[in-house]
Every structure is written in C-alpha cells, then in structure tokens.
C-alpha cells in the first residue's frame, strides 16, 4: 500500500481466471484456477420463501457473481457483517431525518445494497492496509485499523517509515563516535553522564526526568547488550495500537488496545526531515487545508523540521489535545547532532485500553507551551485551525 501500483492483485487474479490462465507469482495455479471462495455478499432477496444472497467470488470478476441460497453459504462472519451493514445504513438514514426505506423482506433497496458493497470493499482495503503496515513496522506492538464511522478507506498518499527520511540535501549521520563500556548502565557512569544529564529511566523503564530534559540512550558503540535499562526508545513501540476513524469529525485517530502505565514510552514521531524554510512554505499550504503535520526540531536551534504529512508511522494519525496524555521528549542515540533529536512520546498518566492517544501539537519537547515560533505578522498571517479536542482546557485553535 505504500508503493502505488497500476494494477491490483485482485484485478490480475480476475483477469487470469477469466482467460483461464495460471500464474504462480500471483497465486493462480491449475489446482485453484476454478476454486470458488466467498469474498463478500452484495445483495439479498427472497424467492418462493427461500432466501438468496448475491455472492462476490474472491479472485473472480463481478460478471461471475451469482445468487446462492442461504443454506449453501458457510460464511457466518460475512452473513453477520452483511446484517450489521444493513442495520447501520438504516440507522444513518433515520438519524439524517431522511425517508426511511420501508421494511421489505423480499428484496433490498438499491441504495442499501450499494452501501453494503462499499462497506465490504472498504473492509477489504483496510485489512490489506493493516497487513501492509504490520509488514513494514519494525517494532513489537501490532497495528490494527478500524472504521465503523464512514466509508473512508486507507489514505492514498501516505508512506509508512520507521525512521527519519532526510529530504534531498540533508545528511543524517546515524553512527555514534563513542559508546560506554558499562557492565551495568543503571549504576555506572554511562552515556547520559557523558552528555552532562541524568539517566532518563527508573528500574521500571519509566521516564523520571522532567519535560525539556534530553534523553541520551546507549548507542551502537556501547558494550552493553540489548537488555540494557538505557535502551527504551530504540526498542520501538511495545503496545498494540489501533488507527481508528473518529466520530467527532477529527478524521483518523490512534487508540491503545492495552493498558499503558504512566511515564512509559509509547511511540516515536517520525517523518521527512526538511529545512525550516521549506517548512514555512509547506506550513502555509497545510494551514489553508486545516491540517498540521510539522514538528519543529528546536531543541537547540530551528534549522530543521519533521514533516509527517506523507512519510510517517502511527504517530501521523495521533490527534491533538489541549489536555493530552502523551508528552514530547528529545532523544539522542546514534545521532548526537543536537540539531536533529529524535522525538519520543511518553505517557503522562495511566492510559486505559480503548483510550485515544493525544499530544499537544504546540509542545516541542518542553513543559511549556511557547508561541515564539508562531509568526503573527501581517505579511505571514496564517489561517487559524480550529481545535476540536473537546477538552475543558481547550485553547480554541491549533495554531
């Protein structure tokens, strides 16, 4: 899903079956050339007191769809999804105060059948996107995708990455020049001490330093092993997270599927590293569209910005809140260039399973919200983006 292709796998499989051709590279062999598997259900009718469903066969073109009696269908999950989609459509029509279709057990209204097919196709597309995200991620936590709100499918112009992607002309040196020789980094003078700061974590792998303090983790030149207590961010997300469609008009969001303890590392914020000048240009465009994915790397200077609009990880979908449950920290591991810190998000409190994850878009690795980076001069006046976080302490705008 991260690399556009001209023809989908399904289309190729359908063409092969239509022309009676085999192709092992796309899974069409002599053995399964004529196999029929229900992909989804398209329509419903009753004929002479017998129930029938219109079946879309997996890997076959729509022209081969057939009406099958209910008694022949061995797909309880698809039947349940069909029923749920029908119910959801009728509920939406009722909420919209439109004319509710009469309950007719003989056939479905065309609009209902069309909606059910769209939901089935969306479900398949989201499952493929979920599979692609999990193939590309390099951390332990699984990624799930869910949309029970509308017909929106996977984003068409988003590419999943696990680390910073430098724009042309920007060099990221990802190799440390020195490392520690500790046998126990928790008690000995380690990388943080060499950098003049405290070790960031306690024995429970929770962050113990105040916001605004940098994190220096052990790097690739250190002699300590992977179980070192000072290797937290580099291990990646440990929690299973779900990208879900919000019901309050904020697009996609991210929720945790497991309980997260307070002060725990949750995820990194990654994207394309660009210059501040380029960020200013893109910022005008994003503000006019009412979106924001720019994160200034202003730990010591403001030379670079991370843009997660097209390239990013799960953090791309994390929404803003004026009362967030995630806090930003600057992290240095192999790249010790203070102009290019890694951005880590830690929980500020216990976050329960099912709760949405949020961070304050105006927090740049410090405890204070600064407006210094926002230019209010008439020459560079930007469109203000209304905040929809709903928090009691909501400031009203994202910028």
- Counting every residue, how long is the chain? 399
Query: Are residues 121 and 164 located together in one domain of the fold?
Result: no
pLDDT, tens only, 34-88: 567 899 999 999 999 999 999 999 888 899 999 999 999 999 999 999 999 999 9
Place of tokens 């953090």: 315
Q: Mean pLDDT throughout 93-103?
A: 59
Q: Mean pLDDT throughout 186-191?
A: 89
pLDDT of residue 387: 87
Alpha helix stretches (DSSP H) within 102-244 = 110-136, 191-194
Q: Read off the CATH number of the domain in which 116 is found.
A: 2.40.50.40
Q: Mean pLDDT throughout 193-197?
A: 92
Dihedral angle sign, alpha carbons of residues 98, 103, 107, 113: positive
Strands 241-245 and 143-146: parallel
pLDDT of residue 1: 42
Report the 10 Å Cβ neighbour count for 7.
Answer: 8
Q: What is the dihedral of CA 86, 89, 93, 94, to 10 degrees?
A: 60
Query: Are residues 315 and 272 located together in one domain of the fold?
Result: yes
Residue 27 in domain = no
- Domain range for 298 is 141-359
Q: How confident is the model at residue 11 (pLDDT cuts 50, 70, 90)?
A: low
Model confidence, pTM: 0.84
Is residue 42 part of an annotated ligand binding site? no
Is residue 16 part of an annotated ligand binding site? no
Residue 399 in domain = no
pLDDT of residue 329: 96
pLDDT, tens only, 225-259: 999 999 999 999 999 999 999 999 899 999 999 99
Is residue 222 part of an annotated ligand binding site? yes
Q: Mean pLDDT throughout 274-280?
A: 94
Residue 283 in domain = yes
Residue 364 in domain = no
Residue 236 in domain = yes
Q: Mean pLDDT throughout 295-324?
A: 93
Query: Are residues 110 and 166 located together in one domain of the fold?
Result: no
Residue 378 in domain = no
What is the C-alpha to C-alpha distance for residues 4 and 1, in angstroms, rounded to an integer? 7
Final residue belonging to a domain, choices 359, 376, 391: 359
Q: How far is CA 355 from CA 31, 51, 246, 321, in A?
A: 47, 41, 12, 13
Dihedral angle sign, alpha carbons of residues 302, 308, 313, 318: positive
Domains held by the chain: number: 2
Report the 10 Å Cβ neighbour count for 37.
Answer: 11
Is residue 319 part of an annotated ligand binding site? yes
Q: Read off the CATH number of the domain in which 278 is found.
A: 2.170.270.10
pLDDT, tens only, 107-165: 899 999 999 999 999 999 999 999 999 999 999 999 999 999 999 999 999 999 999 99
Write down the catalytic residue from 89, 115, 311, 361: 361
- Residue 68 host element (H or E): strand 66-69
Residue 92 in domain = yes
Is residue 5 part of an annotated ligand binding site? no
Query: Are residues 207 and 81 located together in one domain of the fold?
Result: no
Residue among 270, 335, 332, 341 at smallest CA distance from 300: 341
Strands 272-275 and 165-166: parallel
pLDDT of residue 398: 75
Is residue 190 part of an annotated ligand binding site? yes
Query: Are residues 210 and 346 located together in one domain of the fold?
Result: yes
Query: Are residues 221 and 170 located together in one domain of the fold?
Result: yes
Residue 212 in domain = yes
Write down the catalytic residue from 216, 269, 286, 293: 269
Query: Are residues 151 and 121 located together in one domain of the fold?
Result: no
Query: Are residues 50 and 199 located together in one domain of the fold?
Result: no
Q: 75-79, 90-94, 122-126, 337-341: which has the minimum mean pLDDT?
A: 90-94
269 is known as an active-site residue:
yes
């Amino acid at each position: 899903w991260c690399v556009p292709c001209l023809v989908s796998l399904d289309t190729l499989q359908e063409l092969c079956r239509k022309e009676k051709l085999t192709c092992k590279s796309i899974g069409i062999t002599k053995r399964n050339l004529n196999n029929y598997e229900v992909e989804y259900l398209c329509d419903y009718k009753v004929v002479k007191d017998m129930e029938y469903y219109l079946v879309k066969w997996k890997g076959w073109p729509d022209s081969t769809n057939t009406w099958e009696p209910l008694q022949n269908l061995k797909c309880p999950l698809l039947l349940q999804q069909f029923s749920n989609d029908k119910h959801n459509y009728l509920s939406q029509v009722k909420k919209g105060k439109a004319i509710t279709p009469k309950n007719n057990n003989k056939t479905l209204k065309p609009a209902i059948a069309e909606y059910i097919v769209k939901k089935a196709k969306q479900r398949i597309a989201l499952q493929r996107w979920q599979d692609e995200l999990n193939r590309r991620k390099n951390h332990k936590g699984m990624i799930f995708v869910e949309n029970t709100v509308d017909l929106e499918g996977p984003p068409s112009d988003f590419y999943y990455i696990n680390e910073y992607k430098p724009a042309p002309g920007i060099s990221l040196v990802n190799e440390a020049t020195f490392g520690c020789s500790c046998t126990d980094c928790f008690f000995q003078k380690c990388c943080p001490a060499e950098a003049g700061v405290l070790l960031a974590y306690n024995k429970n792998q929770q962050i113990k330093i105040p916001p605004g303090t940098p994190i220096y983790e052990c790097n690739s030149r250190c002699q300590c092993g992977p179980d070192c207590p000072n290797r937290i961010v580099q291990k990646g997300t440990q929690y299973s997270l779900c990208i879900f469609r919000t019901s309050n008009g904020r697009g996609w969001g991210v929720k945790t599927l497991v309980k997260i303890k307070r002060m725990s590392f949750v995820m990194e914020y990654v994207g394309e590293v660009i210059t501040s000048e380029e960020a200013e240009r893109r910022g005008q465009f994003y503000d006019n569209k009412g979106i924001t994915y720019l994160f200034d790397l202003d730990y010591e200077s403001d030379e670079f910005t991370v843009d997660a609009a097209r390239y990013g990880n799960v953090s791309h979908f994390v929404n803003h809140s004026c009362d967030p449950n995630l806090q930003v920290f600057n992290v240095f591991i192999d790249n010790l260039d203070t102009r290019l810190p890694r951005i880590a998000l830690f929980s500020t409190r216990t976050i329960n399973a099912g709760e949405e994850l949020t961070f304050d878009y105006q927090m740049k690795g410090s405890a204070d919200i600064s407006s210094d980076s926002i230019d209010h001069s008439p020459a560079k006046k930007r469109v203000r983006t209304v905040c929809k976080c709903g928090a009691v302490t909501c400031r009203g705008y994202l910028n």
